[in-house]
Amino acid sequence: MPSPGAVVEVEELVKRYGDVVAVDGVSFEVQRGEFFGMLGPNGAGKSTLMRMIYQVTPRTAGELRVLGMRAGEQARAIKQRLGVVPQMDNLDEELRVVDNLLIYARFNGIRGAEARRRADELLAFADLEEKRRAMVRELSGGMKRRLTLARGLMNDPEIVVLDEQTTGLDPQVRLNLWNKLEELRARGKTLVMSTHYMDEAERLCDRLVIMDHGRIIATGAPQALIRDNLPPLVVEARAELGEGAGLEQAAERLGLAVVRSGDRVSVFVADADAALARLREQGWRLLHAFVRPANLEDVFLKLTGRALRE
Amino acid sequence: MRGRTIVDLRGAARVWQRNLWVYRDRWYYGLLPNFFEPLFYLLGLGVGLGYYVSSGGQFGEGYLTYIAPGLVAASAMNGAAFETTYNVFVKLHFGRLYDAMVTTRVNMEDVALGEWWWAVTRALVYGGIFLLITLLFDTPVTWRLLLAVPAIALVGYCFSAIGLAFTSVIHIIDVFSYFFTLFLTPSFLFSGIFFPVEERFPSALVWVAQATPLYRAVRLVRGLVNGHWQGLAFDAGYLLVVGTVLGAFAIWRMQRRVIR
């Protein structure tokens, strides 16, 4: 049974392209007002799932409801209340900045003074007031991203769908975009975002699903996902040359979870000082050892045996 | 599981409007060649070549007056074809413009119809200007010239649909050269604009020529302008049917190209 506050309801949703299964029977719900994330590596099925939610990819099987309406049948009505910010810049290069916004309003049936009022407001939100009459090609990468976001907000959507927003952006631009998204969340919008950046998901999302090979492998709040799957701390260290495997085994004998790559080991622990002391007691020399909190990247690694980004 | 494909006319109108906005900013670049092209054709083929063509036209008119209505039809054809081939292909594949449009209330079927309408509009502009330019030469001025206007729209309707259908099935932009070289060029030369194909071609080829939409388009425009009505309903019907069938096919195909 869907809970009363659910604005996106996904049930056993499947998308196949010939023999390729892009989305393999996923189920989840997004609640009104929450910042919901989909975390996973490239090819995990995030974008396909996003496209199904914003009604440009028909489903193969399963159920999908957005704002209580069935996907496909009520595509227009759903899209009218959804804001979409796609992964690739697909702004209208032949139109000016402000016309990019105004034509989007027209596409959604908003016209005249109301459209102009919203365009003014969103140009301010996107810090693009001075570029109002500029052509799209004159904008920098970060400005294009902000304009794409503003465009997705022209219909004052209840849900904003953001696909891989910060891929390829430099850190400062990324931070700026994060602030914009947090501002939207504070205004009560429901946000659904896909990303393959663990730090992004951890910082922004109230709740998320971790995806791999078209399936959901974990669901929950970022901190809960970490807490439920791993000890809170990670000791990162390097063994002496050629001693990596030995150190890994020693840690395992102490009952600790370990991931090794060459002579580098990550040891998951509750008490870092105690673990380091016991390893040193056994005569292991740990080079460049440091302790950090466990994160979603580690959760992905634990659940799949692979790193999130290769 | 796809929703049913029902075109929303308002959505199509908004896509048409988007093209108008683009055009609004730079119509003067695109429009000027539209004036020169007919001028050059009528000068070269009508005034120049026409001087040496002695056997009169179908209605006893001079050569320039004979070819002018056909050139008007061909110009509508070219306008429609250019708009629905390269322009649509680029929007479909490189600009990803349609991917953006369909995230709004507008569906892909509306986008395809809007592009179709727009191409008809462009064909009307091309053909209409050509018609005006013919008045500078010694084409008889008659109220029947007004009848050519809806005929130009119909020619645009048919050839936009043909171009859109072709664009909707190809994946490589170079393939358009086949469309232009093997379809539009022979259509232009052998559809009765410059000579009556029935009198010069063997019957097998006449049959091919008569099957081309441009042959019907030329007959239609020439017949209307000269007040020679016989068979025009068939010509118009032919363009209407070909346009409607291929246009519907193109909408269906483009929908599946983008919504996948």
pLDDT band at residue A104 using 50, 70 and 90 as cut-offs: very high
With tokens 């119809």, the residue in question is B113
pLDDT recorded at residue A263: 85
CB atoms within 10 A of CB B74: 27
Report ipTM for this prediction: 0.91
Chain B: residue whose CA lies nearest to A56? B259
Helices A97-107, A141-152: crossing angle, 10 deg rounding: 20
Question: Each residue of A77-93: pLDDT tens digit?
Answer: 999 999 999 988 899 99
pLDDT band at residue B202 using 50, 70 and 90 as cut-offs: very high
> Which one, of B216, B193, B72, B77, lies nearest residue B144 by Cα?
B72
Mean pLDDT of B245-257: 97
Q: A165 and chain B: CB distance < 8 Å anywhere? A: no
Q: Starting from the edge strand earliest in sequence, which strands make up the sheet with A207-212, in order? A: A82-85, A159-163, A190-195, A35-39, A207-212, A215-220
What amino acid occupies position B23?
Answer: Y
- Does A310 score more than 60 pLDDT? no
Helices B9-24, B27-41: crossing angle, 10 deg rounding: 80
pLDDT recorded at residue B60: 72
Question: Each residue of A25-49: pLDDT tens digit?
Answer: 999 999 999 999 999 998 899 999 9
Helix (H, G, I), strand (E, B) or coil at B28: helix
CA distance B119 to B161: 9
CA distance B197 to B189: 10
Q: Do A108 and B103 lie within an 8 Å CB cutoff? A: no
pLDDT recorded at residue B58: 63
pLDDT recorded at residue A2: 53
> Which one, of A109, A140, A143, lies nearest residue A123 by Cα?
A143
Q: Do B100 and A90 lie within an 8 Å CB cutoff? A: yes
How do A233-238 and A264-269 pair as beta strands?
antiparallel
Mean pLDDT of B117-144: 92
Q: Which residues, listed in sequence order, are joined to residue A236 by a DSSP beta bridge?
A: A266, A290
A265's enclosing H/E stretch is: strand A264-269
The CA distances from residue B235 to A293, B85, B91, in Å, are 78, 24, 33
Helix (H, G, I), strand (E, B) or coil at B79: helix
Chain A: residue whose CA lies nearest to B14? A107
Indicate which of A15, A50, A56 best probes the interface with B, i.e. most B CBs within 10 Å of its own CB: A56
CA distance B159 to A97: 33
Q: Which chain B residues have a beta carbon less than 8 Å from that of A92? A: 18, 95, 97, 100
The CA distances from residue B175 to A211, B115, B160, B241, in Å, are 40, 20, 17, 26
pLDDT recorded at residue B2: 63
Question: Each residue of B54-77: pLDDT tens digit?
Answer: 766 666 778 999 999 999 999 999
CA distance A12 to A53: 14
Mean pLDDT of A167-186: 90
The CA distances from residue A297 to A140, A250, A306, in Å, are 31, 24, 10
- Is residue A195 left, alpha or beta, with left meaning phi > 0 and alpha meaning psi from -120 to 50? beta
Shortest CA gap B2–chain A (Å): 6
Q: A48 and chain B: CB distance < 8 Å anywhere? A: no
Q: Which chain A residues have a beta carbon less than 8 Å from that of B22? A: 94-95
Q: B6 and chain A: CB distance < 8 Å anywhere? A: no
The partner residue sitting opposite A57, judged by closest CB among B11, B14, B260, is: B260
* φ, ψ for residue B62, nearest 5 deg: -70, 170
pLDDT band at residue B30 using 50, 70 and 90 as cut-offs: confident
- Does A1 score more than 60 pLDDT? no
Q: Do the beta carbons of residue A10 and residue A28 sit within 8 Å?
A: yes
Shortest CA gap B83–chain A (Å): 15
Indicate which of B17, B19, B104, B111 best probes the interface with A, i.e. most A CBs within 10 Å of its own CB: B104
Q: Which chain B residues have a beta carbon less than 8 Å from that of A93? A: 95
**Average pLDDT in chain B:** 92
Indicate which of B2, B22, B23, B105 best probes the interface with A, i.e. most A CBs within 10 Å of its own CB: B105
Q: Residue A86: CB partners within 8 Å, gap ≥ 6? A: A148, A163, B99, B100, B103
Q: Distance of alpha carbon A151 from its chain centroid, rounded?
A: 20
The CA distances from residue B200 to B48, B105, B195, in Å, are 22, 54, 8
Shortest CA gap A136–chain B (Å): 12
Which domains are assigned to chain A? 6-226 (3.40.50.300), 231-293 (3.30.70.120)
Question: Each residue of B147-198: pLDDT tens digit?
Answer: 999 999 999 999 999 999 999 999 999 999 999 999 999 999 999 999 999 9
Q: Do the beta carbons of residue A103 and residue B104 sit within 8 Å?
A: no
Q: A35 and chain B: CB distance < 8 Å anywhere? A: no
- Does B31 score more than 60 pLDDT? yes
Indicate which of A16, A55, A94 best probes the interface with B, i.e. most B CBs within 10 Å of its own CB: A94
Q: A134 and chain B: CB distance < 8 Å anywhere? A: no
Planar angle of CA B252, B255, B259, nearest 5 degrees:
145
The partner residue sitting opposite B2, judged by closest CB among A54, A58, A155, is: A58
Helix (H, G, I), strand (E, B) or coil at B50: helix
Q: Which chain A residues have a beta carbon less than 8 Å from that of B88? A: none
Q: Do the beta carbons of residue A156 and residue A80 sit within 8 Å?
A: no
Q: Do B258 and A75 lie within an 8 Å CB cutoff? A: no
pLDDT recorded at residue B201: 92
pLDDT recorded at residue A305: 79
Q: A194 and chain B: CB distance < 8 Å anywhere? A: no
- Does B17 score more than 80 pLDDT? yes
With tokens 């008490």, the residue in question is A271
Mean pLDDT of B211-221: 97
CA distance A178 to A182: 6
Q: B257 and chain A: CB distance < 8 Å anywhere? A: no
Q: Which chain A residues have a beta carbon less than 8 Å from that of B100? A: 86, 90-92
Q: Do A76 and B105 lie within an 8 Å CB cutoff? A: yes
**Tokens linked to B177:** 């050269």
pLDDT recorded at residue A87: 84
DSSP label of B46: I
CA distance A101 to A154: 7
> Which one, of A302, A137, A279, lies nearest residue A210 by Cα?
A302
Helix (H, G, I), strand (E, B) or coil at A198: helix
Q: A278 and chain B: CB distance < 8 Å anywhere? A: no
Q: Which chain A residues have a beta carbon less than 8 Å from that of B10? A: 109
What amino acid occupies position B40?
Answer: F
Helix (H, G, I), strand (E, B) or coil at A243: coil
pLDDT band at residue A173 using 50, 70 and 90 as cut-offs: confident
Q: Do A90 and B97 lie within an 8 Å CB cutoff? A: yes
**Tokens linked to A96:** 């000016």
CA distance B206 to B203: 5
Chain A: residue whose CA lies nearest to B26? A94
Q: Which residues, listed in sequence order, are joined to residue A235 by a DSSP beta bridge?
A: A267, A291
Q: How many CB pairs under 8 A join A and B?
A: 78
